Amino acid sequence: MADKRTMTTSAGAPVSDNQNSVTAGEKGPVLLQDYQLIEKLAHQNRERIPERVVHAKGWGAHGVLKITGDISKYTIAKALQPGAETPMLARFSTVAGEQGAADAERDVRGFALKFYTEDGNWDLVGNNTPVFFVRDPLKFPDFIHTQKRHPRTNMRSPTAMWDFWSLSPESLHQVTILMSDRGLPVAPMYMNGYGSHTYSLWNDKGERFWVKFHFKTVQGHKHHTNAEAEEVVGKTRESYQEELYGTIERGEFPKWKVQVQIMPEADAEKTSYNPFDLTKVWPHAEYPPIDIGVMELNRNPDNYFTEIENAAFSPSNIVPGIGHSPDKMLQARVFSYADAHRYRLGTHYETIPVNQPKCPVHHYHRDGEMNTFGGIKTGNPDAYYEPNSFDGPVEDTAAKEPPLKISGDADRYNHRIGNDDYAQPRALFNLFDEGQKNRLFSNIAAAMGGVPGEIIERQLAHFDKVHADYGNGVRKALKEAHGYEANAVPVTGKTPQHAAE
């Protein structure tokens, strides 16, 4: 047998006995001086870090982004040039469930990507849906509260969910996707990913273009019905982890076709919808998807905690050639994701190996908890402020992006008035065949169990506005599932936005 290495304390001293505590006499008690015992117990107490408030349950892997198309006229981003191959990390997740929640639950899936480019990390923190439930970040914490546990019952509350959704008709588009077949994928490789937000690309002439990123599953879409998912969860809570891990271990690497939709900067003034509204898609007929390459996942993490739990994705991470947009939800996430990581992982979360850029990093941040990067990142101990005369790193104006042209008076604009929250859900509803429609109706009815009639009626009125068949289909399914009588309860109350109309 090969020589075994000697086990040590974390300070490096050899351990002589890892089976028996130090006790006063054979029958105990243990002595406080048994540092080995204390160190083991103390470490165990600190093995968990705060789980993410949302997207706590996740599955991830390493891979590569290969660019085969040519969008160099739109962007100088090195990772998007023809022939570029960029190492990357993906983390998929559910939104509402805690870390121990079952994988096969109906929920939106997170689709977070980190590309380790030559110019720094570029993160796309998307979902498996092209839109979201709200368009204004002021509503985000309220929305998430409705998805998490009720403070008194400590259970999920369908009443809270449908109350919020029925009072927030901008959610209809995402609710329709969530309750459709695509709301319960079989495993991460059988779903699309969408950057969701509008970002921008900019080129060497200083021209900006709006862009949407799409990742289309090459494996094809596969979904569970609610009944199938119940059976899966009865057997395993880890169906996604098993499938993603197993597939990659077997060398069957999942792939996604990468596409962009490009909108000339000036078009943002012309579209009938706000192209920066996260509840809207850009119709393919107007802005056709362009194939630009393939993303492949080909390596499982060696340590789930250090490579996936510690992974910190943030839309604040962009690189030259890629920019943000006026999307309000995007601005909030640019702040809030990095802030979440500072809280959850610590000030220097980007020095954790999985988050470290694979290009040189030079900055003047210093000190702080767990500063393990050797003081400061300037290459010279005298260059600890900027500007300095000691060859410290300096700015590079070549990385300056063109101005984001925004004008307008600061105000709290009501983006519900005059905003059509029904047309795009209608376009989606019209894509569904009879079977898809029937499953949509029954999924909604199942999710409405126990919800007060007043809230159900308010939501049915929204479905009616999308399409009469939508409202009537849900009514029929409600009757079948719960004996619910349509219009048995009068609709009361107006939504805040409609009261203002």
Question: Following DSSP, what letter does each residue of 356-409 receive, concatenated?
Answer: S-SS---------TT--S-S-SSSSTT--SSS-SS------GGGPPPP------
Q: Max Cα separation, the chain?
A: 85
Please name the amino acid found at residue 1: M
Show the CA angle centred on residue 150, arms to residues 147 and 156, nearest 5°.
Answer: 50
Could you give the angle at which helices 172-179 and 453-466 cross, rounded to 10 degrees? 100
Site for ligand NDP in 353-412 (CB under 6 A): none
- Decide if residue 182 touches ligand NDP (CB under 6 A): yes
DSSP state of 228: H
Query: Catalytic residues, which ones?
Result: 55, 127
Write down the least CB distance from residue 90 to ligand NDP, Å: 18
Shortest spacing between CB 183 and ligand NDP, in angstroms: 9
Interatomic CA distance for residues 412 and 139, integer angstroms: 13
**What CA–CA distances, in Å, run from 38 to 32, 35, 334?**
8, 5, 41
Q: Is 183 in the site for ligand NDP (CB under 6 A)?
A: no
Could you tell me if 67 and 79 are in contact, meaning their C-beta atoms sit under 8 angstroms apart?
A: yes
Q: How many residues bind ligand NDP (CB under 6 A)?
A: 20
Interface with ligand NDP, residue 466, by CB under 6 A: no
CA 400 – CA 22 distance, rounded (Å):
63
For residue 142, the Cα-to-chain-centroid distance in whole angstroms is: 18
**Least CB distance to ligand NDP at residue 260 (A):** 11
CA pair distance 443, 425, nearest whole angstrom? 16
Of residues 83 and 220, the one with the C-beta less far from ligand NDP: 220
Tell me the three state secondary structure of residue 351. Answer: helix
Q: How far is the CB of 290 from ligand NDP (least distance, A)?
A: 12
Binding residue (CB under 6 A) for ligand NDP from 1, 398, 406, 431: 431
Instruction: Answer yes or no whether residue 284 interacts with ligand NDP by CB under 6 A.
Output: yes
Binding marks (x or -) toward ligand NDP, 206..235, rule CB under 6 A? --------x-x-------------------
The residue range among 50-58, 346-354, 428-436, 471-479 that interacts with ligand NDP, by the rule CB under 6 A, is 428-436
416 binds ligand NDP (CB under 6 A): no
239 binds ligand NDP (CB under 6 A): no
- Supply the minimum distance, in Å, between the C-beta of residue 192 and ligand NDP: 5
Q: Work out whether 424 is an interface residue with ligand NDP (CB under 6 A).
A: yes
Judged by CB under 6 A, the residue of 80, 125, 281, 311 near ligand NDP is: 281
Of 112-120, 179-187, 410-418, 475-483, the window that binds ligand NDP (rule: CB under 6 A) is: 179-187
Q: Is 428 in the site for ligand NDP (CB under 6 A)?
A: yes
CA torsion, ordered 17, 19, 23, 26, to nearest 10 deg: -110
CB of 213 to ligand NDP, least distance (A): 10
Q: Which parts of 191-251 are beta strand (E)?
A: 193-194, 199-202, 208-217
Q: Around Cβ 473, how many Cβ atoms within 10 Å? A: 21
Q: With binding defined as CB under 6 A, does residue 438 bind ligand NDP?
A: no
By CB under 6 A, what part of segment 88-117 binds ligand NDP?
none
- Tokens representing residue 164 in the block: 């919020």
Which amino acid is it at 188?
A: P
CA distances from 111 to 89, 129, 188, 189, 295 (A): 11, 9, 9, 11, 13
- Provide the token pair at 452: 């007060």
Which tokens hold the place of 435?
């079977």
Distance CA 195, CA 174 (A): 15
By the 10 Å C-beta count (0-12 exposed, 13-18 middle, 19+ buried), 329 is classed as: buried
Find the binder of ligand NDP among 104, 124, 177, 456 (CB under 6 A).
177
Closer CB to ligand NDP, residue 216 or residue 328? Answer: 216
CA distance 344 to 275: 33
Question: Does residue number 427 form part of the binding site for ligand NDP (CB under 6 A)?
Answer: yes
Residue 187: CB minimum distance to ligand NDP, A: 17
Where does this chain touch ligand NDP (CB under 6 A) — which range of 319-327, 353-361, 402-410, 427-435?
427-435
> What single letter denotes the amino acid at residue 191?
M
Considering only 94, 168, 171, 192, the residue that binds ligand NDP (CB under 6 A) is: 192
* Least Cβ distance, residue 383 to ligand NDP (angstroms): 47
Is the Cβ of residue 157 or residue 424 nearer to ligand NDP in the bound state?
424
Which one among 81, 203, 436, 497 touches ligand NDP, defined by CB under 6 A?
436
Of 193 and 321, CB closest to ligand NDP: 193
Of positions 86, 128, 180, 239, contacts ligand NDP by CB under 6 A: 180
Q: Is residue 155 close enough to count as binding ligand NDP by CB under 6 A?
A: no
- Nearest-Å Rg of the Cα atoms of the chain is 26
Beta-carbon neighbour count of residue 205 at 10 Å?
Answer: 8
C-beta of 409 vs 433, nearer to ligand NDP: 433
Minimal distance in Å, beta carbon 480 to ligand NDP? 22
**Nearer of residues 71 and 455 to ligand NDP, judged by Cβ:** 71
Residue 136 or 181 with smaller CB distance to ligand NDP? 181
- Binding site residues, ligand NDP, CB under 6 A: 130, 173, 177, 180-182, 192, 214, 216, 281-285, 424, 427-428, 431-432, 436
